[in-house]
Structure 1
Amino acid sequence: MDKRLTVLNIVISDREAAAKVNEILHGYSEYVIGRMGLPYGERDVSIICVVLDMPTADASALSGKLGMLQSVTAKVMTPKI
C-alpha cells in the first residue's frame, strides 16, 4: 500500500486522556516524521500536531482510535501531493 503524507491534529480537553493518546501514537511510531504539542492553558486544552508518512487506511484507523477516546478530537488531513 502506498504511503501518503498525513497531518493529524488532536485536541485533548482532559489531561487524563493524554497518556492514552500517547500510548496509541506510540503504536504508530514507525510512521511519525515529527510532532508538536501545545498546552493552551487559557482554554484548558492541549493541542498536538503530528506529521506522518503512512498508508491512508492506517491514518483513518489511527484517527478513529483517538476519536473514540473521551475528551479527544482527532482530524486527519492528507494533502494532494
Structure 2
Amino acid sequence: MEAETRIALVGIIVENGEMAEKINAVLHEYSRYIIGRMGLPYRERGVSIISIVLDAPSPVISALSGKLGMLKGVSSKTIYSKI
C-alpha cells in the first residue's frame, strides 16, 4: 500500500541552460508522480521557468525538489496544497 500523497507545485528557475539534460533526467525519474509540467523560456533575461505539479508522498516531493536545487544554476521551491 502506497503512502498518503499530497498535491504540490514545484517552481524551478533555471539560470544555467547547460543543466537542461540533468533537469530532464531528474524529472523523468519522478515522472510517475507528475500531473503536469509547463516551461517558459524568458530569453530577455536568459532564464527558464518551469512549473511541475505533483501528486506524491511528501518524501518523494522533497527528494525531487532537493535534487533539482542541488544542480548548479538551478533553484527550486515547493508549495503544498492543504488537502
Q: Does 1:40 pair with 2:39?
A: no
Runs of 5+ consecutive residues of structure 1 not aligned to the other structure = none
Note the C-alpha offset of 1:48.
0.3
With the length of structure 2 as denominator, give the TM-score of the two structures.
Answer: 0.94
- Aligned residue type for 2:62: S
Give matches, 1:1-81, under 5 Å.
Answer: 1-81=3-83
Provide runs of 4+ in structure 1 moved above 4 Å.
none
- Aligned residue type for 1:32: I
Distance in 2 between the 1:55 and 1:13 partners?
A: 28
Distance in 2 between the 1:80 and 1:12 partners?
A: 27
- Aligned residue type for 2:5: K
Runs of 5+ consecutive residues of structure 2 not aligned to the other structure = none
Identity %: 53
**DSSP 3-state at the match of 1:49:** strand
Question: What is the root-mean-square deviation of aligned Cα atoms in Å?
Answer: 0.6
